[in-house]
Structure 1
């Protein structure tokens, strides 16, 4: 079973071309949500700059305008940021899954199990603002490995207006330098970073922590 990581508090829940990624419609429906406890993002969203306990791994490509999903089950609801695709499942962070299932944090009362019934609604990105922890409120991406996704988002899309690039080499923030990079698409599609793009130095102090399925123990993501 796949699983991912979510460090949100239980109080967050309530009783350039034809290749451009198309804008998301406001949609929703009934789904079965499954737990995911190992953080990762194929589009390069940095786990050390978001709350990894409130993310979604869903079948569709993350939209440039509609990455925020409101998920409800068992009289509870939360918003989740979709930062990756799945093989067809509606995976969400293990912590979020545990709270939606039982009302309790996975760190204090972890449970196991498969999918259970939920509904989702794609909502305005402002409703996921509290998931983003980057200092300027931007959604942070790895500068070295996110340009295919960034370049596919129109300049006037939410991602096009609200991304930040960092010289961090991987989505779990274990390599690189925690520094902002700049990008001038009129000059180059390659970001410019103070320490040189693509640093592979071991990075300390920005650890991403997974909550392990079934145990509630925290473990550094690798």
Structure 2
């Protein structure tokens, strides 16, 4: 068995699927002459923004504050201590999983005072079934390719020696290499009553998911080659 021929192949799968979530960030700002007043305005606007996002319930899966800063603005760049105003900023990050409300939510956020919306960044869940499906298809392709090579030589596949993510079996120095990550692409921009901005029409960007494997199979001895 140790002298059995070995066929080494690569299997790859490329899937194009709809995104499962949209990640966005919001910067809420204030700018006042007095530091305390800047903080108070920032707290009010931040709370208004959070309340709006939370009002969408389960459509928003994740909500977190990414950072906060209060920065003095100088009148003259070369003269320390001459402060003309204080600027406050809060960075909020959240994930929307119901795209039916996304355009409305983004438009309403953008309509808030001193609020800046960035996104959406379309994506898939980390544990998405799409990644597993791509991996299975890549493995199936490796098997089919090995069988095709064996048939071309008048042989048949007899067993599996090794199956791994592409790059995991070895690196340029012969050591175990880091596995190649499965990848997905992105995309990108935002409801409405008489007093609110109209929803922005957002088209989800197609996600491209790739998976690749390396496999080695044992085979029967090939037929004589003429």
TM-score (norm 1): 0.22
Compare the two structures and name the one with the higher helix fraction: 2
Bigger relative CO (Cα 8 Å, ≥ 6 apart): 2
TM-score (norm 2): 0.22
